[in-house]
Amino acid sequence: MTAEERNWGALAHAIPLGLNLITGLGWVASLIIYFAYKDKSRFVAHHAAQSLAMAALFFLLAIGGTIAFISLIGIPLAIVMWIVAAVGGLILPIVAAIKASNGEEYVVPLIGQATKSLTNT
């Protein structure tokens, strides 16, 4: 694996994190990187797919928290879901970017294996 692949693997997590903090559209960067590298580098495609799965997971947690909050009886659940989405959305991409820059494959907890199977990465 080349240094360029390790760098793009790390960027597949770092760029979406930065964009999510500013615009909430980090998943677009993950998608672009995935399609740009899916035939060139299995390593980069793997990290981009994992990043996209992470974005989907945290989006669903945030939506679930909002729905729970609207129902009023789920306010404590909503708070927990929002905290998990916020903390996980900050920490997991950083961990994944570090692992990618070290040449390691990172699999997102809960959904990473399914993503790996679906994308053959």
121 found inside a domain: no
Given a cut of 80, whether residue 53 has pLDDT beyond it is yes
Domain count, the chain: 1
71 found inside a domain: yes
Given a cut of 80, whether residue 24 has pLDDT beyond it is no
Listed residue (98, 103, 13, 104) closest to 53, CA to CA: 13
Listed residue (109, 98, 120, 117) closest to 43, CA to CA: 120
In whole angstroms, what is the distance from residue 83 CA to residue 81 CA? 5
pLDDT at site 34: 95
30, 51 Cβ separation under 8 angstroms:
yes
**Domain membership of residue 35 as a residue range:** 3-115
12 found inside a domain: yes
pLDDT at site 51: 93
120 found inside a domain: no
114, 108 Cβ separation under 8 angstroms:
no
90 found inside a domain: yes
| Identity of the residue numbered 98 | I
Does residue 40 or residue 1 have the better pLDDT?
40
In whole angstroms, what is the distance from residue 31 CA to residue 38 CA? 10
| pLDDT band at residue 65 using 50, 70 and 90 as cut-offs | confident
Given a cut of 90, whether residue 23 has pLDDT beyond it is no
